Amino acid sequence: MTMRAILAGIAISSLSVSAVPHDRDPPEPSRAQERLEREQDRAAQRAEERAARFEADRARIEERAVREPAKAAEDLQKLDADRVKEEVKAAEDAEKAEVDYEKDLADDAEDALEDAAKLAEKADSSGESEYGSSVEMRDLADGERAEHDERGYPVRRGEVFALDMPEPALAQLQRAGFKIIERVRFEALDRDMLRLAAPDGVSATAARDQLRALAPGATVDLVHYYGLDLTAGSKPHKTREKAMPSRSNNTFAVGVIDTAIAPHKALAAARIVAWSDGASAQAPAMHGTAVASLLATAGRPTIYNANIFRGPADRPYTSAEVIASALAWTLRQDVPVINMSIAGPRNAILDRLIRDAVASGRVVVAAAGNGGPTAPPSYPAAVPGVIAVTAVDKDRRVYRLAQRGRHIAVAAYGVDVVAADVRSNFARFTGTSFATPVISAWLARCRANGTTTAACGHQLKDAAKDLGAKGFDEIYGFGLVE
């Protein structure tokens, strides 16, 4: 059972009834939901009419049973047979309505993403309305001459990747002009990742569609680019603090998929194990160092650091296949908890690998995102099974740019928090990615005690102090964990 399933299962009534932000009107039902409910109402009405008609017909037949017992028995048998046929037809209609609902829901989501992109185009330069949307990310990895997918997200030009591609399909692709760039075996997940270059003149999206058609059983997607979970508000500012508090001497292990981690006095009690594939003299280190220092306040951690970012320090980026390899590396280290501060589009490969990690008993904790309260969900925070963390200030008010949604699990302090600064001693940082290590450390310490993932999930929910609307809500999740 996934951690979010554990958390959600404890308060399922809250999820279905109280998950409405306290400072907003209840959300309108989607068009798909409205259509489904209308069809269900009609089906219920038809069922009542059938039942009433059946009872009336049965009563008439039974009235003449004394006079014509043989004919009445024959009519009752026919009536029962007709009712069975009608019930079968009703069940088929209900199943079709559910299938139509799923399709309508996907269409609605597509429309919502398009609407979000349009809103982002109208947003002002403050970046507070739709940060993390495709519009804001279009120039990410611009130096790599990225293509863009259907929603405007940047992807690597002329390249796709897949999990578990059948050899016959691969041979057919090679005959069609596709070339293997890389094959990687993820032993910890029992998966094979394959990167392919499309034939000359074939776009990445066209190549993806061709692979999906040829190998429907494989997981295939574009090589999306991702940025750090950053906003203008998350840039550090000076503080007079000379040290960070250490709350315990507990030892625990946690994976950090982020930027590099630089040496710093705040990490004196921490052991850093770096992913060799992510080593780079030019790798940005500010964000990862700050996150690591926040983990170190919770004890004496061993931090397995997978640096996945490259590019300028103020706008670093990474790509989906690097994230996949980093995730596989952290799993090989057998870390129980993985902390992620990545923001970007949903990707089928990363979805699959993260779900695999969660299914194996690992906990994946991700920043909810700093795109603003009306922004669409960021990934991987919104991947089912991931613990999405939002940020609050010292007065327990939600960070004004924190994203919201039913995927939010818990909140932690992440506004104006003191953390290590690679340019000086310490600075104050703001953003959901600076709340995330609080929860990662909490869960890692729980697991270090020998407690099961399920039990830690129960304990995390119990430790959360309810904020906002009573019970679970889309702003604070189950509440604040300190």
Distance CA 146, CA 158 (A): 9
With beta carbons less than 8 A apart as the criterion, state whether 456 and 464 touch. Answer: no
- 338: amino acid identity, one letter: I
Joined tokens for residue 109: 């989501």
Distance CA 153, CA 229 (A): 16
Q: DSSP readout, 209-238?
A: HHHHHH-TTSEEEEEEEEEES--GGGS-EE
CA angle 8, 9, 13 (to 5 degrees): 85
Which of 319, 378, 433, 440 does the annotation list as catalytic? Answer: 433
Q: What is the 3-state secondary structure (H, E, C) of 74-130?
A: HHHHHHHHHHHHHHHHHHHHHHHHHHHHHHHHHHHHHHHHHHHHHHHHHCCCCCCCC
Q: Side-chain half-sphere of 38: how many Cα atoms within 13 Å?
A: 9
With beta carbons less than 8 A apart as the criterion, state whether 208 and 156 touch. Answer: no
Which of 287, 325, 341, 351 does the annotation list as catalytic? Answer: 287
Distance CA 465, CA 482 (A): 9
Which of 258, 351, 356, 473 does the annotation list as catalytic? Answer: 258
Residue 258 annotated among the catalytic residues of the structure? yes
Residue 287 annotated among the catalytic residues of the structure? yes
Facing residues of 419 across strands?
A: 427
Task: Indicate the pairing of strand 219-228 with strand 154-163.
Answer: antiparallel
* Host H or E run for residue 256: strand 251-258
Which residues are the active-site residues? 258, 287, 433
